[in-house]
Structure 1
Amino acid sequence: MFELIQAGGWLMVPIIGSSILALAIITERFITLRYSRVVPRGLLAQVWELVRSGEMTPERMRIIKQESPLGLIVVAGLNSSSHGREVMKESIQEAATVVVHELERFLNSLGTIAAITPLLGLLGTVIGMIKVFTEIMIQGTGNANVLAGGISEALITTAAGLSVAIPTLVLHRYFQRKVDTLVLTMEQESIKLVEIVHGERDVDFR
């Protein structure tokens, strides 16, 4: 493996670095964007039961806020519920903006890695071919080993760049779609909370 990396030339260093960074981001996002962590099942029912029974203390609200992104949005809405429906909705939207920003954290970096690694591979291809033609100009076509070395460097960097870019691009799209789904779910839960608090719908958490 080391010989293969060495044969690819110095451009293998940023390609490998990009793959390590991509793997770290992917692992972190898989952990962070778990559905159970972002939108805990039964949270809205639990919160409403505490509100209805008068047991919703500032300490409980602080805990709910810290436990999940949906909890942060719900608490923001409850804190302003006494000021009317529109103010409550605005508070929820402001909290949701912060939550969405956190959910999309590192996704731009992942997209950038998916975009630049094939270009690094292409640059390696160009450099390798330049070496090949330079050697042809100097030595002619008689030295097959030198020509093979330049072509090998070109192909290795291209393959390495694509090997990093393809799975990174697929997972970048996957995480974007997952964030969209989570945001939609939180939006539906928030609307439900607003309508229940202001008596615009029956209590139904199914």
Structure 2
Amino acid sequence: MKPLFTDLTSLLPIAAVDGPSGFSLIWDFLAIGGFVMLFIVLCSMAAVTVMISAWLRLRDHLVLPASVAAHLRALPGYAAKGDIKPLQEFLERDQSLLARLGALAISGTFSSRQECVETITARAKEDLHHLERGVSVLEVMVTVAPLLGLLGTTAGLVGMFSAFGSEAGPDTATIAKEIGVALRCTIAGLFVAVPSVLAHTYFVRRLDNIAVRLESILHETIQTFFAHFEVKHTHDVRTPEPERLR
């Protein structure tokens, strides 16, 4: 008597040959969907591209590394030693968003705390706007994909009702095909819209979280820097104006 697993293993190649592959099933699903399905596929490709690029941009080590935040919070220790240069060199070596803004905040190039806060705030808004690029595309896909699905559904219903008006009587094969077109377009549109709305919500919350943490860390850094370090600026000496000729 042969072992059971040997019999099951011998049946796997037969099942693989008899059953359709996953790629062929997907291709049949998309092909029957009609011309509208092409636009839905393009929307899905755009949504996936935006998701991947946004995820790569918003990783912690590129935006808010824990090591950079720890060094900025250790600014009083550098002040106690009277040497801030090691911290500045560390921030210059790091290429993250927090490191760039932190290096600017402790650069000592601002004459007042208010000037530093305004400049850092403007620069942070600009960098956050750069991080947001592409995320709005997901919001567009949330609206466009279901509308394209509805367009395909409407086209399928038009073809279905046209089959009822033929002189030879209703063509059941055509009716079934058009119903398949309508249902496939609806499913495909929702299949693109649902992940897009989930990804859009996630990235918007992620950006809000980054903005709040960035503001908190930089505000603390600026307050600590101006409390422990004195910023000195040399003013240009004005030459006396020549006397007017009378």
Structure 1 gap segments, 5+ residues each: 201-206
1:34-183 aligned at under 5 Å gives the runs 34-47=59-72, 48=75, 52-55=82-85, 62-64=92-94, 67-79=95-107, 82-139=110-167, 142-183=170-211
Is residue 71–residue 87 contact of structure 2 (8 Å, CA) maintained in 1? no
Structure 2 gap segments, 5+ residues each: 1-25, 229-246
Q: Which has the higher helix share?
A: 1
Is residue 110–residue 172 contact of structure 1 (8 Å, CA) maintained in 2? yes
- Residue 53 of structure 1: SS of its match in structure 2? coil
- Counterpart in 2 of 1:17? 42
> What is the alpha-carbon distance in structure 1 between the residues aligned to residue 120 and residue 112 of structure 2?
12
> What is the alpha-carbon distance in structure 1 between the residues aligned to residue 215 and residue 168 of structure 2?
68
Deviation sequence 1:105-161 (CA, Å, 0-9, x none) = 111111111210010000000111111112212347531111111111010001001
Q: 1:9 offset after TM fit, Å?
A: 0.1
Distance 1:50 1:18, change over 3 A: farther
Report % sequence identity.
25
Write the letter of the residue equivalent to 2:116: M
Please give the root-mean-square deviation of Cα atoms over the aligned residues, in Å. 2.2
TM-score, scaled relative to structure 1: 0.86
> What is the alpha-carbon distance in structure 2 between the residues aligned to residue 58 and residue 34 of structure 1?
23
Which deviates more from structure 2 when the two are superposed, residues 24-33 or residues 70-79?
Answer: 70-79
> What is the alpha-carbon distance in structure 1 between the residues aligned to residue 181 and residue 30 of structure 2?
9
Equivalent residue pairs, number: 198
Q: 1:176 offset after TM fit, Å?
A: 0.3
TM-score, scaled relative to structure 2: 0.73
Distance 1:133 1:16, change over 3 A: same
- Residue 74 of structure 1: SS of its match in structure 2? helix
> What is the alpha-carbon distance in structure 1 between the residues aligned to residue 168 and residue 115 of structure 2?
78
> What is the alpha-carbon distance in structure 2 between the residues aligned to residue 71 and residue 140 of structure 1?
75
Q: 1:63 offset after TM fit, Å?
A: 3.4
